Amino acid sequence: MLLHQLTAKQIQDNIVKRKISCKEVIEDLFNRINEKDSLIKAYISLDEESALERAREIDGKLSNGEDLGVLAGIPIAIKDNICTKNMKTTCASKILENFIPPYDAFVVNNLRKEDAIIIGKTNLDEFAMGSTTENSAFQITRNPWNTEYIPGGSSGGSAAAVSTDIAFMALGSDTGGSVRQPASLCGNVGLKPTYGRVSRYGLIAFASSMDQIGSFTKDVCDAALLLRVISGYDCLDSTCSTLEVEDYVSHINGKFDGLRIGVPKEFFGEGIDREVRNALMNALEIYKKNGAKLIDLSLPHCEYAIATYCIIATAEASSNLARYDGVRYGMRNQLSDDSIMEMYCRTRAEGFGDEVKRRILLGNYVLSAGYYEAYYLKASKVRNLLKSDFDEAFKKVDCIISPTSPTVASKIGEKMTDPLEMYLSDVYTNIANLVGIPGISLPCGFTNSGLPIGMQILGRHFEETQILKVAKLFEMETGFHLKKPELD
Amino acid sequence: MEYDVVIGLETHAELDTDTKLFCGCSTAFGSEPNTQTCPVCLALPGVLPVINRKAFEHTVKTALALNCEINNFVNFDRKNYYYPDLPKNYQISQNYFNLGNDGFIELNVKGKKNRIGIHNVHLEEDAGKLVHPEASDASYSLIDFNRAGVPLVEIVTKPDMRCIDEVEVFMHTLRNILLYIGVSDCKMQEGSLRFEASISLCRKGAQVFGNRVEIKNLNSMKAVLKVLAYEISRQRELLERGEQIVMETRLWDEISAVSRRMRLKEESHDYRYFPEPDLVPILVDKKNIESIRMTIPELPTKRHQRFVSEYLISEYDAGILTESKSLSDYFEECVKLTSNSPKELTNWIINDVLRVLNEKKKEIQDFNISPKMLVELIEMKSEIGGAIAKEVFSEMSNTGKDAPTVVREKNLKPLSNTAELSSLVSEIIGANPKAVEDYGNGKESALSFLVGQSMKVTKGKANPKTLLEIFKEKLANSP
Ligand SMILES: [Zn+2]
């Protein structure tokens, strides 16, 4: 097997057993990046020099017999909306094109502490707004299974990097499915933890009440490994949980006794692609064969989820993005006799792309006087109803299974013409963000045309262990995750 | 025509905390621009706010002192508007769930008791400060973010004030309460206390208030009183001419002493308030409230009443003594230390202590003379005489030395040695035969003259009473 095809855990075993040096891993990886990333365009920026320096340090630690972090030597890619000290963090937006944060995000700090090696920053839809990664101000990322196709989004760069084997692991952010959906479309494992499990400090906000940092990995075990490192209490994020972090890796193996899987009828209805549906049905059969009980469910308020999501996400975004005004940092566009108001307008008009502007406008609209009650307040109430739908459901079942996305990857350019259709494609994922529960997407088959199909497993708040375990069982039974795209 | 005036006030007080409301930056006043900033208060991408517990407790304390109901569910809201001194372009404030609601302040306006309703008390963050370069042709402004994120308590009254006198007493009383409970230093010159007023006029006795005019950014109590007086006459003139009052926000121009339109009501901001998703709602614990309530000292109005009834001093004097907590503490400390009458202490404090503080522009906390030292001096008065006591006081206030030390060092101890005094009296008698003769002829005033002469010679150090007795005795015995 080729080095770059190993999982993070495997590469780390090799490093720790000193079969291979960290430096060799990085060199090999950058060779592959240089060869493949021009096809995929997953990375916005790379930092080979620092990565090599870090690798040498870790090799040094190894030969001195010093203690190593749990991610020692693992090369990892970071979505470019997560702040990295002294490394450009652009949000794929012109307005932050040259922004260099003076601080590390909580998760980045944890990665460094555990000796992971940050190799670069990955592409995304501008400010994580989109489901295709076509809304990047800089480049369009391609799906490694077919470069004519989108990788999904908004964390398309991270998803494509892991599936292309040009990163062993990657971080993304998931506000409405931005980790799970691209993981599904690129055929790897995407985990969105419970809201509050992972600190948002340093994640550039899109919709604060739903944003959550998640991971892309080559298998479930790696997801468990990475979750342990990025989770935990952070006094700088008031919405972060104080609940103790579990040792996920050691709990994901094993059989279930009477696992109850919820199958909501609302998730298998209209609009779902035939091949996706079939793959899911097969997957459910596999669980059944392994002793799980399938339980039909109804989540009656699901039909309002997309509208609710759109209102809350755009409202929060309109306010979160107000700080990009050209005053303190980032792009400033100003003619010599501009007033401050003209400078604001010129900067924001030229700094933001269409999708971002569309959402800022929508958000300002739903919050404006006279509309707040009808939109934002009502959406908050529906959100509570959705939460009780899930509370009820989780009394009867241990997890809920659905497709991650109703369709597989679409062709580049196909969905850009109709934003509404794009919003609708997030139907299965954004409910988890509204409710705050964890979800994981993993490959469960391929279409005849060779595009990956993803399955989503949703669990109770803070029961990441449970969904990882359910996912792991499927992975062992099937092995879809082992299939690699041909990229030549 | 006669009009009713309706006034409401919004007061912003900077809370006395070491660090800002949502980050760990210092709140110290007067540092170099932008030295007290961090990614959070500069609103860099990706940062999050974390609430300062002390600021929250100070706000609870304020709300309790203003007799408010404390909401048991407290949340923050974003107030969205663009201004370069506001780094996030939204202010974290409270709108839907204020910390305190429905309180009141009791006023004493020229002996008449009156209650002003408090609509709400809430916590929010301050903005930075724009610094405009002095050159009039400069094409830029600078921003100092040191103040951005400093905690403010906002106190909003109901439109309950009906005249300027009331407003004046209200502002003093409120300031006094805030100082008493120790939540703000209320330093107007440092912008720790700022006001916004709203005012309308309506025909006397009318049930419906007139159109409201708001006036922003009033940085002194004087400015509030001036702008209200100006607005009352401006609005009255308009109404007399049969014109309408326009709903608008005006700014006070201190230099030309006029108010000017800032924006019309229709142009006012739509703040698009919504709950701050980066902070979690606070469920206020009843026990917690009670323990904060325990830290509230006796408030000025109550203390005022108690001083009158317990120490038998005048309403007026009690008013002056309770003007600040530290002054009334000082007074009570003195009372405890002496059996002298509180009235005498009051005279000393009001006439002498406050005069010196005023001259030296000092606060009582920084005063050289402690209560113990003042009492010691007052108790020496019968011995050294009033004139010397005042002299000693003045020296004490300059040097911080206690009364016995000053008396000794300046040799101000009265001559009490009878032998010494006796020979002095003989001397004076010898030197003033005319007066002695007058006294012999029954002219009592001659005796005062003789005593006065002795005081002159001793530079006031002799006790006049003792002198008088010795004179009487000697003159009676003389042929
Ligand atoms: Zn700060």
Catalytic, A79? Answer yes
Which A residues in the span 241-280 are in contact with B, Cβ-Cβ below 8 Å?
Answer: none
User: pLDDT by residue for chain A (488 residues), tens digit each?
Assistant: 689 999 999 999 999 999 999 999 999 999 999 999 999 999 999 999 999 999 999 999 999 999 999 999 999 999 999 999 999 999 999 999 999 999 999 999 999 999 999 999 999 999 999 999 999 999 999 999 999 999 999 999 999 999 999 999 999 999 999 999 999 999 999 999 999 999 999 999 999 999 999 999 999 999 999 999 999 999 999 999 999 999 999 999 977 889 999 999 989 888 899 999 999 999 999 999 999 999 999 999 999 999 999 999 999 999 999 999 999 999 999 998 899 999 999 999 999 999 999 999 999 999 999 999 999 999 999 999 999 999 999 999 999 999 999 999 999 998 777 777 777 778 899 999 999 999 999 999 999 999 999 999 999 999 999 999 999 999 999 999 999 999 86
| B105 occurs within a structural domain | yes
Same domain, residue pair B274 and B320: no
Count CA atoms within 13 Å of residue A466 on its CB side: 21
Let me know: does A334 contact A197? Beta carbons within 8 Å: no
- Among A21, A131, A178, A318, the active-site one is A178
What is the rounded distance in angstroms from the CA atom of residue A452 to the CA atom of residue A409? Answer: 8
Domain enclosing residue B357, as ranges: 300-403
Q: Which residues of chain B neighbour A238 with C-beta distances below 8 Å?
A: 48-51, 278-280
Class of the CATH-defined domain A3-259+397-482: alpha beta
Give the CATH number for residue B424.
Answer: 1.10.10.410
- Which of B78, B139, B145, B274 is best to mutate for the A interface (most A CBs within 10 A)? B274
Same domain, residue pair B277 and B317: no
| B413 occurs within a structural domain | no
Which A residues in the span 403-422 are in contact with B, Cβ-Cβ below 8 Å?
Answer: none
Is B350 an 8 Å CB contact of chain A? Answer: no
Structure tokens at A331: 């792009």
Q: Among residues B342, B373, B403, which one ends one of the domains? A: B403
Same domain, residue pair B152 and B109: yes
Q: What DSSP state is assigned to residue A84?
A: B
- What are the boundaries of each domain within chain A? 3-259+397-482, 303-378
Same domain, residue pair B176 and B320: no
pTM, entire model: 0.90
What is the rounded distance in angstroms from the CA atom of residue B313 to the CA atom of residue B322? Answer: 12
| B410 occurs within a structural domain | no
What is the rounded distance in angstroms from the CA atom of residue B152 to the CA atom of residue B309? Answer: 37
Sign of CA dihedral B168, B173, B174, B179: positive
| pLDDT for res B478 | 66
Q: Do B50 and A322 touch (CB under 8 A)?
A: no
Scanning the structure block, which residue is given the tokens 């008449």?
Answer: B112
What is the rounded distance in angstroms from the CA atom of residue B63 to the CA atom of residue B323? Answer: 21
Which residues of chain B, if any, have pLDDT below 50?
A: none
Same domain, residue pair B339 and B282: no
Same domain, residue pair B123 and B209: yes
Same domain, residue pair B251 and B360: no
What is the rounded distance in angstroms from the CA atom of residue A221 to the CA atom of residue B206? Answer: 76
Same domain, residue pair B111 and B185: yes
Let me know: does B44 contact B83? Beta carbons within 8 Å: no
| B62 occurs within a structural domain | yes
> Is the ipTM beyond the 0.85 threshold?
yes
Report residue B319 CA to chain centroid gap: 12
Same domain, residue pair B95 and B200: yes
Structure tokens at B108: 């004493």
| B411 occurs within a structural domain | no
Q: Which residues of chain B neighbour A324 with C-beta distances below 8 Å?
A: 45
Q: Do B78 and A336 touch (CB under 8 A)?
A: no
Q: Among residues B273, B292, B311, which one ends one of the domains? A: B292
What is the rounded distance in angstroms from the CA atom of residue A241 to the CA atom of residue A245? Answer: 10
Beta strands B3-14; A439-446: pairing state:
unpaired
By CB atoms closer than 10 A (0-12, 13-18, 19+), residue A246 is middle
Same domain, residue pair B459 and B315: no
Q: Among residues B403, B437, B462, which one ends one of the domains? A: B403
Let me know: does A243 contact A199? Beta carbons within 8 Å: no
| pLDDT for res B450 | 85
Same domain, residue pair B429 and B392: no
| pLDDT for res A265 | 92
Catalytic, A154? Answer yes
Which B residues in the span 51-80 are in contact with A, Cβ-Cβ below 8 Å?
Answer: 51, 78, 80
Which residues have a Cβ under 8 Å from the Cβ of B442 and sit 6 or more positions away? none
What is the rounded distance in angstroms from the CA atom of residue B201 to the CA atom of residue B256? Answer: 23
Give SS3 for B433: helix
Structure tokens at B164: 């300027």
Same domain, residue pair B365 and B426: no
**Total structural domains in chain B?**
3
Q: Do B272 and A208 touch (CB under 8 A)?
A: no
